[in-house]
Amino acid sequence: MVLEMLSVSSLTTRSSAMDVLRGLAVLGILIANLTAFSSPALKVFESSGLASSAAEAWAFVWREVFLSGKARGMLAMLFGAGVWIVYEKAVEKGLAWPKAYMPRMAWLAVIGLIHALFIWFGDILFVYALTGVVAAALVKLSTKALLWTAGVLLGLGALVGLGIGALTVFSDGPSTSEQIAMIPVLGTFLSVEGETAIYSSPNWLMHTLHRGVFFLFNAFNLIFVIPGILAPFLVGIVLARTGVLRDPASRPDVLKKMMLVGFGIGLPLNLLPLFAGLRDLSGLFTYFIEMGAASVMSIGYLAVAAWLAVRLPRIMSPFERVGRISLTVYLMQSVLATFAFYGYGLGFYGRLDYFGQLGVAGVIWAIVILFAWFWTKRFDIGPVEWAWRSVLAKQKLPWKRQPSRDAAASIVNQ
């Protein structure tokens, strides 16, 4: 994610292309996370347990191939690009690196914790903050070293994910949910049945308690998760160096290479569950995709999005506006999705198949796109972005650019 709001403090150094990329990626996150919003997490992890019909089973397979992990990979690359942009600014100002970057990540982690504990346990901001610290320490490496490191991390992540998937599919022992159910007290709290009962109820405090326990439970998986996210961070640093994300039209050669990697290598890797799905083994590749293959394909997605940003600026305008306030939109989507599915809201939890969930996502998209459109007509910065940057700056920042800065901003953005 170079969610601008997560990485660049100046209101005058925007790139419309990068805003489009952010907007598309943050909207894509909702589609990828739909099942986790509306179903017990353990069932999501076991994948095949969600398939109540042949159509649902195929929906899962196609979701794995084309959606799962792709938007997150795009966001990670954009965030990595942001690390490079902030690094360049720090060098220009003579600031110590990576010390100058640490407050930014510390407050991002705080936002992530608030999101994870009080809104939705599937937060990615906290993990991005931790990964950003590592990426900041590696930002000075050569392009070759960064790409080799990213490749090794993705390869290891894919292998580990394939191993986890094999243990899940071919093990004769109890499933993940059954193993957790054996743990006294915790097993009942984190069981599929317990989770369904909790989020189907209107008891927000019980939701919060469950999110806290689940957050701690997931903390043990960070050692497996962060390497797979660090890899696209490093790719994003390289892409920022080339300038392709800020001005895609200037580097068609890089866009072509990105598409070759994303669809020439990434697509075949992500197609594996499509073939495996014919033998009901799609779950074998769930972690393989999440921890490695998805990030490779997301490189191609990012290239296509960048190409569209240049070729179809008017059509992409709504996504650009979403990208300008993408941290706010990311959190809004969680608030709206939990309201739609949880018991204190509309109560659709566990009641909709994936196609019904897509309908909910369409309504949420319409709301956040309209909000972004009207908000950015009046302000240059989103409300959450404004609060975050004001805390970092230790002063109340303006909601709009000063008129005297507009000319400079337009020159920078050309």
Residue at 200 is within a domain: no
* Total domain count, the chain: 1
Residue at 130 is within a domain: yes
**pLDDT for position 165:** 74
Residue at 189 is within a domain: no
The mean per-residue pLDDT over the stretch 283-296 comes to: 84
Residue at 302 is within a domain: yes
The parent domain of residue 96 ranges over 4-176+224-413
pLDDT digits (tens, 9 = 90+) for 250-280: 999 999 999 999 999 999 999 887 776 555 5
Nearest to 291 by CA among 194, 225, 379, 382: 225
pLDDT tier at 41, thresholds 50, 70, 90: confident
pLDDT tier at 186, thresholds 50, 70, 90: low
Residue at 229 is within a domain: yes
pLDDT digits (tens, 9 = 90+) for 363-402: 999 999 999 999 999 999 999 999 999 999 899 988 886 5
Q: What is the 3-state secondary structure (H, E, C) of the chain?
A: CCCHHHHCCCCCCCCHHHHHHHHHHHHHHHHHHHHHHHCCHHHHHHCHHHCCCHHHHHHHHHHHHHCCCHHHHHHHHHHHHHHHHHHHHHHHHCCCCCHHHHHHHHHHHHHHHHHHHHCCCCCCHHHHHHHHHHHHHHCCCCHHHHHHHHHHHHHHHHHHHHHHHHHHHHCCCCCHHHHHHCCCCHHHHCCHHHHHHHHHCCCHHHHHHHHHHHHHHHHCCHHHHHHHHHHHHHHHHHHHHHCCCCCHHHCHHHHHHHHHHHHHHHHHHHCHHHHHHHHCCHHHHHHHHHHHHHHHHHHHHHHHHHHHHHHCCCCCHHHHHHHHCHHHHHHHHHHHHHHHHCCCCCCCCCCCCHHHHHHHHHHHHHHHHHHHHHHHHHCCCCHHHHHHHHHHHCCCCCCCCCHHHHHHHHHHHC
Checking if the pLDDT of 183 tops 70, the result is no
pLDDT tier at 6, thresholds 50, 70, 90: very low
In order of 124, 145, 178, the CA distances from 167 in angstroms are 26, 33, 14
**pLDDT for position 213:** 86
Contact between 51 and 386 (Cβ < 8 Å): no
**pTM (predicted TM-score):** 0.87
Burial class of residue 317 (count of CB atoms within 10 Å of its CB; 0-12, 13-18, 19+): middle
Output the average pLDDT for the chain.
84
% of the chain beyond a pLDDT of 90: 59
Nearest to 76 by CA among 277, 234, 270, 310: 234
% of the chain beyond a pLDDT of 70: 82
The residue ranking higher by pLDDT, 179 or 129, is 129
**pLDDT for position 407:** 35
Residue at 199 is within a domain: no
Residue at 97 is within a domain: yes
Residue at 198 is within a domain: no
pLDDT digits (tens, 9 = 90+) for 130-150: 999 999 999 999 999 999 999
Checking if the pLDDT of 322 tops 70, the result is yes
